[in-house]
């Protein structure tokens, strides 16, 4: 994939999420905060579109999606999967708590809207869909297209890592600067680590598996708040 294409693709998800929530709020005549609970469903839809875009972009450049992300069957070591999974969980949750303390003065702090209930049927359907599509879409875009497509060794890590983290500031979208900063710094250290690891190893599978695990935990929380009466209120009151 050409470097120009790789750079153009990096901000796409941030823009798409912003537009979806803004336009969606106008359609239903609600503030963007009033539709924030739909973020996980929106993310799955955007993931599917992202995967399709990556497949098309790869084909245009004479490669497959697997070649885009540099997937090679049998290359991955179990030890790498375990290490990266632990790193994703510890760094991901740890920095998120730290960001919450820095931005909101609370420890531990997690944005309550991330586990807001949705219709139970959608919560169940999204259990396999969100983790799998997120790993394929985000890691395909920021690692496969970004890290692999950008030539400068520093830019190939920092540019994808920046947009990898930035997209989370709009999932869901709120016009609150403190929230946007909180979401950005919650993810930036982890995205830098993942992009740097991928540039060195060129093996996406450990990152994809670790990524899917943390997203699976999130959709399970959403399922719990969606099917257990009063559970969301109890969790947000703690």
Q: Does residue 76 carry a pLDDT above 90?
A: no
Residue with tokens 């730290």: 98
pLDDT value of position 227: 93
Residue range(s) defining the domain that contains residue 233: 3-237
Q: Does residue 62 carry a pLDDT above 80?
A: yes
Q: Per residue in 172-209, pLDDT tens? A: 999 999 999 999 999 999 999 999 999 999 999 999 99
3-state DSSP helix/strand/coil percent for the chain, to nearest 5?
80, 0, 20
Q: What is the CA radius of gyration of the chain?
A: 18
pLDDT value of position 207: 96
Q: Per residue in 109-142, pLDDT tens? A: 878 889 899 999 999 999 999 999 999 999 999 9
Q: Is the peptide bond before 108 cis (omega within 30 degrees of 0)?
A: yes
pLDDT value of position 113: 85
The structural domain count of the chain equals 1
pLDDT value of position 58: 93
What's the average model confidence in pLDDT over 93-109?
Answer: 91
Report the 10 Å Cβ neighbour count for 51. 17
Q: What is the pTM of this model?
A: 0.94
Q: Does residue 238 carry a pLDDT above 70?
A: no
* Residue-averaged pLDDT of the chain: 94
pLDDT value of position 236: 75
Residue with tokens 């060794």: 153
């Amino acid at each position: 994939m050409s470097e120009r294409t790789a750079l153009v693709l990096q901000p796409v998800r941030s823009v798409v999420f912003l537009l979806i929530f803004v336009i969606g709020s106008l359609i239903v005549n609600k503030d963007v905060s009033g539709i924030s609970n739909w973020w996980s469903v929106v993310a799955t839809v955007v993931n599917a579109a992202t995967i399709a875009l990556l497949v098309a972009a790869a084909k245009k450049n004479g490669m497959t999606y697997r070649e885009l992300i540099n997937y090679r069957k049998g290359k991955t070591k179990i030890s790498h999967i375990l290490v990266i999974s632990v790193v994703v969980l510890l760094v991901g949750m740890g920095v998120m708590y730290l960001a919450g303390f820095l931005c909101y003065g609370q420890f531990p702090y997690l944005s309550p809207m991330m586990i807001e209930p949705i219709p139970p049927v959608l919560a169940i359907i999204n259990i396999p869909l969100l983790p799998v599509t997120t790993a394929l879409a985000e890691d395909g875009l920021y690692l496969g297209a970004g890290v692999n497509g950008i030539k400068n060794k520093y830019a190939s890590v920092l540019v994808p890592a920046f947009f990898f983290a930035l997209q989370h500031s709009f999932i869901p979208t709120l016009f609150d600067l403190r929230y946007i900063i909180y979401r950005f710094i919650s993810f930036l250290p982890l995205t830098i680590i993942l992009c740097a690891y991928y540039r060195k190893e060129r093996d996406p599978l450990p990152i994809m598996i670790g990524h899917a695990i943390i997203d699976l935990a999130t959709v399970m929380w959403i399922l719990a708040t969606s099917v257990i009466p009063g559970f969301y209120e109890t969790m947000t009151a703690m």
